[in-house]
Amino acid sequence: MAENLVIVESPAKAKTIAKFLGKQYEVRASMGHVRDLPKSKMGIDTENDFTPSYSIPADKRKTITELKGKIKANTNIWIATDEDREGEAIGWHLLEALKINPKKHDVKRIVFHEITKNAILKSIETPRDIDQSLVDAQQTRRILDRLVGYELSPLLWKKIRYGLSAGRVQSVAVRLIVEREREIEAFKPEEYWDLSGLFIGDAKEKFEAQLAYIKSKKAVIGNQKSSDEILKDLKGADYKVTKVEEKDAKRNPAPPFITSTLQQEASRKLGFSVKKTMMIAQQLYEGVDTGKETAGLITYMRTDSFNLSDLALAQAKTVIQNLYGKEYVNSSPRIYKKTKGAQEAHEAIRPTDLSVTPESIDKYLNKDQFRLYELIWKRTIACQMQEARLKNLIVEIESSIKGKGLPYVFKATGQTITFQGFMKVYVEGTDDEAEATIGPKEKLLPPLKEGESLKCEKLDSTQHFTKPPARYTEASLVKKLETEGIGRPSTYAPTIGTIIARGYVEKEQKVLKPTDTGMVVNDLLVEHFSQIVDYKFTANMEETLDKIAEGKVKWIPVLKEFYEPFHKNILEKEKSINRSDVVNEESDEVCEKCGNPMVIKLGRYGKFLSCSNYPDCKNAKPIVKEGAEEKSKMDKDLEKKLSGKKCDKCGEPMEIKTGRFGEFLGCSAYPKCKNIQAIVKFAGVSCPDCKEGQLIERRTRKAGKIFYGCNKFPKCKFATWDRPVEGKCTACGGMLVEKKEKIICNDCKAEQGALAAKKTKPPKESAKKTVKKIVKKSAKKK
């Protein structure tokens, strides 16, 4: 047995590191966190300094047993988890779960920014102790999130719908998306017109210029009438060049990648989701077999530092000179200012070896790995290259109209790249075309001189309307969260994933749009729990967590200051909030069946109109937004169930139709467009078997009977006939389901809410296993 046990999080990481160390080292994976707060209860003693009650999940007990078996009296233990707070906490939990006695065993903590042989061997030479301040910061975040989730979620169940949940950072992200949607809904487009002319001068080359000024004021054309009047004025006008201005300009490259900018750029240029970007970056970090060796190709991917090591800067200079020439090397290393709160001990995301070009390892990477590595490599190289040099040309053209002087001025702009510099390799993308930096394409103008007469070959006027603000994409949401100081590198991907999985936000192609449920939950939180979704409060809490990590602030007073007013507010709102005020809205509609007012209600799949005389009158119908259909077609459309989605083939609304096996989406333009889609209804519950998937509503092939299965099928084959609901059994921690209008445990069948009154004892471990086997056998028979 080896004298040294090195513990990391993942098997891939373990496999790579093992190749760098000798036989005296055995490298094992913990498979992530080995302890956490229990799922069946809050697990925090709020009356005794917020002491957490950690437990080892059932799926990690085998891992802990195996690791214990590797530890003998003389074994040296090396904690080699990731270098951030989460990694530090995993290391601390490992020692606690393994019951390691520092007096009996030599425990060392090692950290590294990259998984290369040099980095690993250097870390072995320079170990340290577990940083308790980092652990405390991670614990504080975990406890804060648990306090919010476990106290606020039950309130949402009572006041909106069972199974909903709230999160400290996630709710703020939902608020951003909801507020943007409200801006879009409130936006009123304004008409404006552009007027351009096609000119030709002595060089006999045609070029375009835009009307810029009218009587020395910026040209504003509000309607066609004004546009037609200008065109009438300019009929027969003479034109000459009155100004030719040439300016030299420079453009600097974007800094190297940090987590947020990598997520944004991979979304813009590669179409990757934030989650996918981090998954592929993890693969590149943990190690890839490149033929010669297995090693990490990039540095650690969760970072907020722009710092590059001296070794990387020196290597960048050599690579740039060899590949592009000496003239492309920057005169001195380009150093970027750190972001607020950045951990400068970390590095930016860069290739571990810049001499490894994307083309040289293409055959060892899959398509997505190659594209992300190429993006990181190009960005790193570009940030140390010479600036781009440009020439900007501005030309003004005045009209000469008999009896009217010179009221109209046209302007043309052109651009010439005189030296590409970093642009030879890379140009940063943008979410907003208006903010776009220049790319490799240039707009050239012919040679022109002041006083030169021009001929106008054509005048064109074009109608436009102002556009509402764009919905957030994953990239722009990450940018906004970072700008507001909300969250940290490790939280962006799970935050976005969570709000989509909970059904508060849906992703339509690239944009994020709030659901009706998301808007109702957000409105309740904004009105009654403003601090939880306040941008400044959330950002200040992140700064406080940073201070805890630095050892400047103690964590227990922070929790106490937050929890006492929060808990008091929960108790007050449980009494004062009326559920009907939250989920129901007044409408102008009148029930055509009984004449009573219709109200807008929130259902499982969004808002709908329902008769206020329910249950005597059960009339209900979908909500059709004003202007969505012509009045003559409206009555007919109301009989159909509109899904709120558009056909991805023709753009027409998709309808919820009923077929032999239940509801499905069909294009409203049928039979012209025959596009159909399955309706995926999430139960909003994580799969209890694989822990990765979500349970969704499905139907059997022959009879079309509804059941609930994991969306990771066929990888995971878990299924149940009963509708899952969010929460865990108070007796055994199992999954809850709805059966005959009762909430019961899918495993031990205990009815929820009756346990406390009857003082029922939790079933023994052996009984729970027996029940699970019976349920699984029953499911197979069905």
- CA separation for the pair 475, 478 (Å, rounded): 5
Which residues are identified as catalytic? 300
Q: Is 747 exposed, middle or buried (0-12, 13-18, 19+ CB in 10 A)?
A: buried
- CA separation for the pair 226, 114 (Å, rounded): 63
Alpha helices in 46-131 (DSSP H): 61-69, 85-97, 117-125
- Cβ–Cβ < 8 Å for 89, 133: no
- CA separation for the pair 438, 377 (Å, rounded): 21
Beta-carbon-side half-sphere exposure of residue 316 (alpha carbons within 13 Å): 30
- CA separation for the pair 464, 222 (Å, rounded): 10
Q: Is the peptide bond before 333 cis (omega within 30 degrees of 0)?
A: no
Our measurement of the distance from residue 620's CA atom to the centroid of its chain's CA atoms, rounded to an integer in Å, reads 36
The region that residue 157 occupies, defined by phi over 0 for left and psi between -120 and 50 for alpha, beta otherwise, is: alpha
Question: For residue 384, which phi and psi values (nearest 5 degrees)?
Answer: -110, 15
What pairs with residue 600 in β-bridges? 585, 609
- CA separation for the pair 45, 64 (Å, rounded): 26
Beta-carbon-side half-sphere exposure of residue 523 (alpha carbons within 13 Å): 18
Which residue in this structure is represented by tokens 């979620």? 153
- Cβ–Cβ < 8 Å for 617, 611: yes
Between the alpha carbon of residue 78 and those of residues 30, 128, 200, the distances in Å are 13, 10, 75
- Cβ–Cβ < 8 Å for 369, 283: yes
Which residue in this structure is represented by tokens 């030599």? 106
In 3-state terms the chain splits into helix, strand, coil percentages (rounded to 5) of 35, 25, 40
Amino acid found at 108? K
- Cβ–Cβ < 8 Å for 737, 725: yes
- 3 state DSSP class of 401: strand
- CA separation for the pair 138, 85 (Å, rounded): 6
Calculate the dihedral angle through the C-alpha atoms of 624, 629, 631, 636, rounding to the nearest 10 degrees.
-70
- CA separation for the pair 155, 151 (Å, rounded): 7
Long-range contacts of 666-673 (CB under 8 A, 24+ apart): 668/640, 668/642, 673/647, 673/649
- Using alpha carbons only, what angle is made at residue 361 by residues 359 and 367, rounded to the nearest 5 degrees? 85
For the chain, the farthest-separated pair of C-alpha atoms sits apart, in whole angstroms, at 104
- CA separation for the pair 20, 196 (Å, rounded): 66
Query: What does the block give as tokens for 428?
Result: 């940063």
Q: Tally Cβ neighbours within 10 Å of residue 590.
A: 13
Which residue in this structure is represented by tokens 């290391």? 91
DSSP 87-106: HHHHHHHHHHHTT--TTTS-
- CA separation for the pair 220, 116 (Å, rounded): 60
